[in-house]
Each structure stands twice: as structure tokens, then as C-alpha cells.
Amino acid sequence: MNKKPEIPVKSPIEPRQLELTSRIQFNCHPGISCFNACCRQADITLAPYDILRLKQRLGMTSTEFLKAHTVPFEIDAHGTPGVKMRTRDHEPVCLFMDEKSGCTVYEDRPSACRYYPVALMSSRRSDEYTDRQHYALVQEEHCMGHKEAREITVTDYRKEQQVEQFDELNREYYQLILKKKSAGPAIGKPTPTSFQFFFLACYDIDRFREFLASSSFRNVYRMDDAEFDVLLTDDLARLKFAYRLLRQVLFGEMTIPMIDDIFEKRMAERGEILAKRKEMEIEIAKQQEPIERFIDD
């Protein structure tokens, strides 16, 4: 007889939706008996600003950071690319956890680690332009912080964990994902190239810099030199610009001026290429004709 899969008796997420004014009973501190327990069961999804902070902290390029410290996954059924923090090979232990001192990247730890045990959730109604953020409480057995006497509002907890800057700089990213999800057939099925571009712009901010410096970008978009220099030297400015460019490329929200007649030029070039390709096909067909006739005979 087939044994039914065991369904967890209790979901770790409390069904109650939390607002900013809601109070939670929770405290986490180095002396607590479960110190590091959460970092030994790490399943951390990284958002763009998390990657930026960690790669700066570690003195790496985003490309090096992604290779050494992340694993790719698909965020949704469309295949939107996402990245999770890499853990030890055969156990979900965070590579940044030190048994004695705890988190070795504490000041730059990702947003998900800051929020825990609060879960940040974004949703967007089809008749609304922007998303709404709400919260829930995650209650896992290993976490003793829920047994501590301290009560704190979600607003004060966010302040204590310094999540504001993370939320501000990751918010556009979540909006892009939600917008892509809800756009449906109007936008069409995203192509593999659009996903590659999404990955580059959101996560690999140093390779995105190379793209901006290339003629593929400079020949298409109009931008004065001072503005352009900022994009090449300032990671944060580049991340904000990446969101703008993605909105333009994916959803046609035109906020970055393009060089006049670029489309006409591209079409003319494309027309020439197509005409050349057609000529070659005719030439190849002519050469093959006698061979095929010979085979048929």
C-alpha cells in the first residue's frame, strides 16, 4: 500500500497577517540557547541589494560572488531566474556562520536574515500600479526567540534590524517580478534572452557595468558623459538604473532616451542582412540542384 506523504502538522508561518503596528513576542541575542540554529538551516533567497552589499563586504566582483556563494533557482513557473545563498555541500549550513562568533558578515547580512522570524511579503492587485507589503510571523521549533519576554512592533523591529535601506533598494526588484507575473499574455512569454538580461541587470552588477560600457548600449541609448560616468563608478546608481532599463526593455516604460532613428537604422541593417541571407540561400540552392538531380536520376 502506498504510504501517503506526511503533511507537516503545523506550518511554521503563523496565518495571522501582521501590519507595521502589530506586536510580536521575540528577541534574539548571542547568549540564547539556540544561537546559530537558524544559520544551520539556511535557505536564504538573495535580492539585488543583498548581493551588492555582500560582494562589497567581501571585496569581490558580483561575478565572483555569484560563482562562489550562490546557487541559481527559478523564482516562479515562468522560470524567472533567482539566486539563493550557497550552503555547505551536504548540509544547509550557511558558509558565513562561525560556530563561536555567529554571523561573520553581520553588518551586511541579507535582508531575509535581518527580517527573520518576520517574513516580508509583497502582493499586487491587477487594478493597482504598485505593490503592497505585508508581514507574517515564522515560528520554527528550533527558534527559542519566541519564548523571550520582549514584545516589539514590526515597525520597531524593522528599525532595529536596519532593513529600511534594503527594502528601499530591493522594492523595485520585487515590483518587476510581480509586474511580470501579472502582465500575462499582454507582455507574452519571456524569452531566454530577456531572462539572461534580467539576471545580468539584477544580480551581476559588475558585468552589467561592462554591458553599459559596450557599444551595444552606447549606440542605442542617449546619455550625457557625466551621467554615464556615475553609472560606471557607483554600484548603487547602477542598480537603480538597471531597474529603469529593465522596465523599459521588458514593459516598454520609456524613461531612458534612445538615439533618434536607431530603430530605422536597425531595421535598415536588418533588411540588408536578410537580403544578403536570401541571396546566399538562392546561391546554395542553385549549387545543390545538380547534385539532387543526379541523386534522383
Residues in 21-40 at the binding interface with ligand SF4, rule: CB under 6 A: 28, 32, 34-39
Rg of the Cα atoms in the chain? 25
Of 18, 66, 83, 94, the residue at the interface with ligand SF4 (CB under 6 A) is 94
Interface mask toward ligand SF4 for 244-263; x: CB under 6 A: --------------------
144 near ligand SF4, judged by CB under 6 A: yes
Q: Hey, what's the cell of 168?
A: 528601499
Nearer to ligand SF4, 110 or 245 (CB): 110
Q: How far is the CB of 63 from ligand SF4 (least distance, A)?
A: 20
Handedness of CA 185, 191, 194, 196 (dihedral sign): positive
- Amino acid letter for position 103: C
CA distances 17 to 10, 14, 37, 82, 198, Å, are 17, 8, 25, 25, 31
103 near ligand SF4, judged by CB under 6 A: yes
13 near ligand SF4, judged by CB under 6 A: no
Alpha-carbon distance of 237 to 58, in angstroms, equals 20
Nearer to ligand SF4, 108 or 206 (CB): 108
Nearer to ligand SF4, 38 or 245 (CB): 38
CA distances 69 to 12, 27, 90, 163, Å, are 27, 28, 15, 22
Number of residues that bind ligand SF4 (CB under 6 A): 23
Nearer to ligand SF4, 147 or 222 (CB): 147
Binding region for ligand SF4 (CB under 6 A) out of 10-18, 109-117, 168-176, 275-283: 109-117
Residues in 67-86 at the binding interface with ligand SF4, rule: CB under 6 A: none
Residues in 44-63 at the binding interface with ligand SF4, rule: CB under 6 A: 44
230 near ligand SF4, judged by CB under 6 A: no
Alpha-carbon distance of 93 to 89, in angstroms, equals 9
Binding region for ligand SF4 (CB under 6 A) out of 17-25, 74-82, 96-104, 126-134: 96-104
Residue 167's nearest CA partner among 39, 13, 159 is 159
Of 96, 135, 203, 241, the residue at the interface with ligand SF4 (CB under 6 A) is 96
Residues in touch with ligand SF4 (CB under 6 A): 28, 32, 34-39, 42, 44, 94, 96-97, 103, 105, 109-110, 113, 116, 142-145
